[in-house]
Structure 1
Amino acid sequence: MALWRIRATVDDRPGYLSVLTASLALRGVNILTVQVHTTEAGAVDDFLVDAPDQLGEADLRAAVERGRGRDCWVARSEARGLADQPTRVLGLAARLVREPEGAGEALRALLGADEVTWRPRPAGPLGGVGARTMLLGDPSGGSYELRRREPSFTPAEYARAQALVELASAVARRDDDRVTLVLPDAAEVLVRSATADDLSGVLDLHQHCSARSRQRRYLGGAAVPSPARLRRLLEPARGVTLVATAGPGGEPEPVVAMANLLGEGDEAEVALLVRDDWQRRGLGSALLRRLLGHAERAGYAALLLHVQAENTPMLRAVRRLARPTSVERDGSVLTVTMPLVARRVDLPRQVDAAARSHRPH
């Protein structure tokens, strides 16, 4: 007996799958696993089978065609194919938690892709899946392009692959943005990516900031933002929010600063809020540098800061970055624009079997 993978499309009508399986059974083919992918062209059935040694590829194709299957693809399989799809996906997810930079290899292993290429340009709002190509949006910026000669990609495979990419991006962002900073006065703070669980700590941060500090952050007023608005800031649709915590190591440690990088188009807006007793200690400058690095890795073209003209500490922090800027004034508010040079290679990078993919954090 020999292991084979068979993929074929049948009409999505009652009884058609049983006709196909009966045709295989008549030739002594034992079906070990089956997955059904719903598509506009019909139901794509993906089988792992154990077939008699005397049956070859042509015999299996003929059996599928007699069972009303079409667009048939047949290939020999290995024993590792016996692991069911949920188990394989969970295994790849566990690998990405340990090594988020291995997203390219995980995609290749998940889909059996011939080529996996990371590109600096975005995938667009919806990405896309075709018969031979798949385009996945990387939440950290850029996109992955996958190619496979056969079998054709399916929407279900696209959904699984996009979920893996988003997991890798989330883990990489968490690890990359978790660091202990030692400030010039020897104080230590932990900086990490924010989550929805930080809502109470961020509310407390706002309540312990002066009205002047809140007004400098939000420009339009000094009131504490609503919980709903703070939730959106903690987990932005595009970009990242960092929180800085300080304390004796107990739980929960107080949040002493929040830094937002909010993406819109090819630009990202930056804003900081530092508790009054932690200002003028280098924390704001350190957070600004980390957001700048994230924006460059994500491929944004420019960084925007809306700053009150009298907010000299923030303007001083921007100058310390030693980057070219342009400034526009609208009444008492300055808009500082900082062009960015992406630190990524513009040429496509293909992931081969011998080298792990490099992906942005």
Structure 2
Amino acid sequence: MRTTVQDEPGSLAALCGALAGQRVDILSLQTHPLAEGTVDEFLLRGPAALPVSAITTAVESAGGADTWIERADAHDLVDAPTRILGLAARTALDSAELPLALRQLLGRCTIRSQPAPAGGGRAPGGLPVEGALDDTVMRLRAPEGGVIIVERPYLPFTPTEFARARALVELDARLGPRLPHGRDVLTLAEGSDITVRRADTRDLEATRAMHERCSARTLKLRYHGPVGDAARYLNHLLSPRYGRTLAVQTASGRVVGLGHLLWDGDETEVALIVEDAWQRRGVGAELLSRLVALAVEAGCSSVYAVTQASNTGMVAAMRGLGLPLDYQVEEGTLVITARLGEAVVTSAEELGSASAP
């Protein structure tokens, strides 16, 4: 529960008395100072039959205003310093964790990355180095340039939350590009060994070479049209700011497949490309199952793939997940959405992913 009170002696005591009158226990309390007043954030435990409206009425009668109440979950039982240190540790290990850490830090919110202008210009809109906070929207300077935009329409951000988010972004910037070093060596059914590992923009040359070996049909199925400059797509797709990428490489070190888990606002997209000589050998299915495991560990409730009905390999791989699927045709393309559950979690930790939020 959050409520705003006057910053004066006795205001907190009045709130505590009102909650006690409803037989509500206070498990934890954080204060968020404002220019005028203070936002008090409580973790409460009350009688199961007690309606939210009764708590709101009691709090407002004790001087609280703009009261917001939401059901807590097990993660809220972790004290704030421990939780924030855990998020910092996750961010320190993996560049791709920053958007996820921000989401766990700030609750239900939408996070978007706006790239820097071409040619290395200033951040869009002349954003100051320290970022900007405007009620339900915060804008932060991304370490690689551009802007990270965080929106939470249902609840304004406090200056304390803004400072915590800035600290995570600054930590990410100081540490620079980094990936977990885990990799798995697998033997395909036909006997070839492959290695599955995380990838980022440092793999641009190898992935560009893979695209050059792909047929026009393979590229069209992946990108839904002609691809004149694969590097233009790959810089975005390989950036940890927009998601996670898995690469498949042969024993000689040549990259032959890519799988992307892309953060798309509140949704998550999966995308695959496997060069022609390695198709129909189980590479795509292996990538997809690992991407789904990463999505579950990141707390995603579903993933979707945008493809074409003629892309039988992608359709078969999605069906092979054994998950409930929804099919929808949008503007001539097929969107397949898989609803996730705990049962699909596999050994993605071996690839260096963090535990679920």
TM norm structure 2: 0.50
TM norm structure 1: 0.49
Larger radius of gyration: 1
Q: Which one scores higher on RCO, CA 8 angstroms, separation ≥ 6?
A: 1
